[in-house]
Amino acid sequence: MDPSDATCKTVSFSTASVTSANQIGFAIGPFEDVDLSDFRELDDDEKLGTQAVRIHGYCLPGRAMELRNTCMPIAKVLLQAGTSPA
């Protein structure tokens, strides 16, 4: 709670590394978390093992199918990049 106004909340954060202001953004809303890692094939998960990371997208409620449709190409590219030999 904000010490001067009980109807407000004060939120603070810190970053682990030096970050410029233009790299920080905020979004407030009733977002739905969509796991875009679902585009990854089972054998890709096995190849990545413990290095597999989840890829998330956020959208307004009821728009998950639009998000999946829009983000499918980039999700597939990111997933393929992660499974390629270094």
pLDDT in tens, 22-35: 988 888 889 999 98
For 5, the token pair is: 């106004």
Decide: 44 and 75 in contact? Cβ < 8 Å. Answer: no
User: What global pTM score does this model have?
Assistant: 0.56
- For the segment 37-64, the average pLDDT, to the nearest whole number, is 75
Q: What is the mean pLDDT of the chain?
A: 79
Q: Which domain holds residue 43?
A: 29-83
Structural domain contains residue 7: no
* pLDDT for 86: 47
Whether residue 42 is contained in a domain is answered as yes
Q: Does any domain span residue 24?
A: no
In a domain, 48, yes or no: yes
78: exposed, middle or buried (Cβ count in 10 Å: 0-12, 13-18, 19+): middle
Instruction: Say if 20 falls within a structural domain.
Output: no
Cβ-contact 40, 51 below 8 angstroms: no
Nearest to 59 by CA among 49, 71, 47, 48: 71
User: What's the pLDDT at 54?
Assistant: 74
Count of domains in the chain?
Answer: 1
| 50 found inside a domain | yes
